[in-house]
Amino acid sequence: MSAFKFLMRYIRRHKWQYIFGIITLFVVDYANLFIPELTGDVTDGLADRTMDMQGVFSVLTKILLLGLTLAIGRFLWRIFLFGAARTIEREIRDDMFEHLEGMSVEYYNSHKTGDLMTRFTSDLNSVRMSIGPAIISIFDATVMAVMVIAQMMVYVNVRLTLMVLVPMSVIMVGEIYYGKIMHGKYKKRQEAVSDLTDFVQESFSGIRVVKAFVRERQQLKEFLKTNQNAMDKNLDIVRWQAVVNPLLTVIIGSSSLITLIYGGYLALVGDITLGRFVAFNQYVGMLVWPMIACGDAINMFSQGFASAKRIEEVFSSRPEITDSENPAPVHELKGEIKFDDLTFIHKGSSEPTIRDLTLEVPAGTTLAIIGRTGNGKSTLVNLLLHLYNVRRGMIYLDGTDINDVPLNVLRENIAYVPQDNFLFSDTLASNIAFGTHEKSMERIVEASRAACIHDNIIEFPEGYETVVGERGVTLSGGQKQRSSIARALIKDAPILILDDALSAVDTDTEEHILTNLRKNREGKTTIIIAHRVSTIKDADVIMVLEDGSAAEVGNHRELMEKNGVYAEMFRSQQLEAAVGEKKAALERRILSVGKEDAGV
């Protein structure tokens, strides 16, 4: 779809506002024509002594009425046309946000946040200017120019009008060429602004990493390059404007010069009256605005259509994950999961992340998944959330192929605690209640207690109304994890997925949380991904992933009897824990001896 068709889709919705605005604008332009004519009549009447004071007051009354008409008309066309442009800007922004919410996660892997933010702000502002002020300028300039030129020919002199129009024609031809050049330059400028916005957003989001690695100077150098590029693209536009705008003034001035020389000559020889010479000068002044307006409109159209193209690119993208054409009549899940020879390859990868995985998980089972980093644990739960497409016949939920389960039903029935524990810049209460329609404090506190975060929250000065900052920056890693667990627990979904969600809490807190989970999740399916064997040893079923395959499956006792990968991991972690305890005990002993020596 072209940028023009894209914008017309929104303009049609507000066609009556545009029609009424343009009609009002036409009335204003038409009323403007009579002011120079009335001024000329007064000048001739006073010069010829054919007009008395009553006649002058009569003309002044007409001018005042015309002024009132112009004031009301200008107010109305601003309400109609500017109002429509602002409404369309809001509608496009709403639609774009909704569209992006429906895009698959792969889309955000290839599109930077800063670039998308620029399309929501700078690009949309340019679009608004092109469908508001630019339309007003081009219509006003065209209608005003045609009417003024006709009035100049009829009321004053045809030859004088044609001579004045020669420089004006040069302006029109030059502005068409100028618009084509500026379109490409505005597009490059917007891309440079996107790069700048993205760099700033990413730098401040990762400011802790920047400081930890003492990379402030390097980041500053990179910022200066990106900022310089944005300035260069802006200056490229400014240079053209610096040439064109003064040139426009020179050409317009030449029209005024022709009016003074040739028009003055015609007035002296009597071909036109003094009043008509004065009126003609006013008409020439009225033509200055259409010429400038055309230049401004071309600028705004060039910038607006370049930005509209960038916005249209967002809308033309289609999500990879969509509901099936014939979705199953599923409204609620019980929690039964089946993997049938599941194999999955990420885009751009030649080797499967998960291969030949077969497992049945009855409803109400606690499934633990353990394995080394990069063995497909997180990919498996992302497939369960249908964040990636999977071939039919590989994953079943309650006996229904996952591709046939409506996405909203699937995700409503799964509570998920991701690895990154993302929290919004809002209160703790709002963050915990984010995934549910029920916002009662009783439920929020109950979920917080189950996640062992309640005691921490009530110690904050604002309690549950504490604003956690961007991405939960004011909380510790463990507090963020437990807040995310509370957010999942309050949903009380048939399936709960914890993706390495206990890695930042101590073993005592972990044990309390797991005890609460066993009590609160009785009869519901729970999937726990972890690296620590202590986290998952009490699960009903433990699956050890090795190179994307289920190397071992069973409970803790069965896997220990196999003396395979799981048993090796268990013994290794126990040894690490024992060494850690001995080291801690030795440090305490050394500290105690040091204190005794100091006392002696």
Structure confidence at residue 596 as a pLDDT band (50, 70, 90): low
587: in domain: no
**The pair of three-digit structure tokens given for residue 476, joined into one six-digit string:** 């510790």
50: left (phi over 0), alpha (psi -120 to 50) or beta: alpha
Comparing 253 with 494, the larger pLDDT belongs to 494
Given a cut of 70, is residue 167 above it in pLDDT? no
CA distance 558 to 567: 10
506: in domain: yes
What is the structure's pLDDT at 464?
A: 86
| 462, 482: one domain | yes
| 140, 255: one domain | yes
| 403, 448: one domain | no
Q: Which of 30-44, 60-74, 212-226, 353-367 comes out lowest in average pLDDT?
A: 30-44
Rg of the Cα atoms in the chain: 37
| Domain of 304, in residue numbers | 3-316
Distances (CA, A) of 320 to 103, 105, 397: 7, 9, 20
Which CATH number characterizes residue 288's domain?
1.20.1560.10
CA distance 534 to 553: 17
Given a cut of 60, is residue 1 above it in pLDDT? no
325: in domain: no
Given a cut of 50, is residue 69 above it in pLDDT? yes
pLDDT digits (tens, 9 = 90+) for 364-375: 899 998 887 777
| 281, 403: one domain | no
Q: What is the percent of the chain where pLDDT is above 90?
A: 4
Q: Which of these, 428, 429, 435, lies nearest to 474 by C-alpha position?
A: 428
Task: Compute the average pLDDT of residues 339-360.
Answer: 85
| 278, 375: one domain | no
Q: What is the percent of the chain where pLDDT is above 70?
A: 82
Domain final position from 295, 316, 337: 316
What is the structure's pLDDT at 172?
A: 66
Domain final position from 316, 337, 356: 316
For the chain, the average pLDDT equals 80
Bridge pairing between strands 414-417 and 337-344: unpaired
Comparing 141 with 224, the larger pLDDT belongs to 224
| 148, 286: one domain | yes
| 437, 362: one domain | no
| 377, 230: one domain | no
Given a cut of 80, is residue 510 above it in pLDDT? yes
Given a cut of 60, is residue 598 above it in pLDDT? no
| 486, 508: one domain | no
Bridge pairing between strands 400-401 and 395-397: antiparallel
Q: In what order do the strands lie in the sheet with 414-417?
A: 414-417, 495-499, 525-530, 366-371, 541-546, 549-554
CA distance 7 to 82: 15
CA distance 464 to 431: 10
Against a cut of 0.85, is the pTM above it? no
100: in domain: yes
Task: Compute the average pLDDT of residues 441-463.
Answer: 88
Task: Look at the chain and report how many structural domains it folds into.
Answer: 3
pLDDT digits (tens, 9 = 90+) for 515-572: 888 888 888 999 998 888 878 888 899 998 888 888 888 888 888 888 888 888 888 8
In whole angstroms, what separates CA 101 from the centre of its chain? 10
224: in domain: yes
Task: Compute the average pLDDT of residues 207-226.
Answer: 78
| 157, 289: one domain | yes
Comparing 177 with 71, the larger pLDDT belongs to 71
Length reported for the chain: 600
One-character DSSP codes across 49-115: T---HHHHHHHHHHHHHHHHHHHHHHHHHIIIIIHHHHHHHHHHHHHHHHHHHTS-HHHHHHS-HHH
Given a cut of 70, is residue 224 above it in pLDDT? yes
What is the structure's pLDDT at 396?
A: 92
Comparing 545 with 181, the larger pLDDT belongs to 545
Cβ-contact 294, 144 below 8 angstroms: no
524: in domain: yes
pLDDT digits (tens, 9 = 90+) for 282-320: 767 666 667 667 767 777 887 788 888 888 888 888 888
| 87, 127: one domain | yes
Given a cut of 70, is residue 115 above it in pLDDT? yes
In whole angstroms, what separates CA 376 from the centre of its chain? 31
CA distance 402 to 421: 26
Q: What are phi and psi of 436, to 5 degrees?
A: -135, 155
Task: Compute the average pLDDT of residues 346-370.
Answer: 86
CA distance 433 to 487: 6
Structure confidence at residue 175 as a pLDDT band (50, 70, 90): low
Which CATH number characterizes residue 460's domain?
3.40.50.300
β partners of residue 342? 357
| 229, 364: one domain | no
118: in domain: yes
Contacts of 203 (CB under 8 A, 6+ apart): 210, 219, 223
In whole angstroms, what separates CA 65 from the centre of its chain? 48
85: in domain: yes
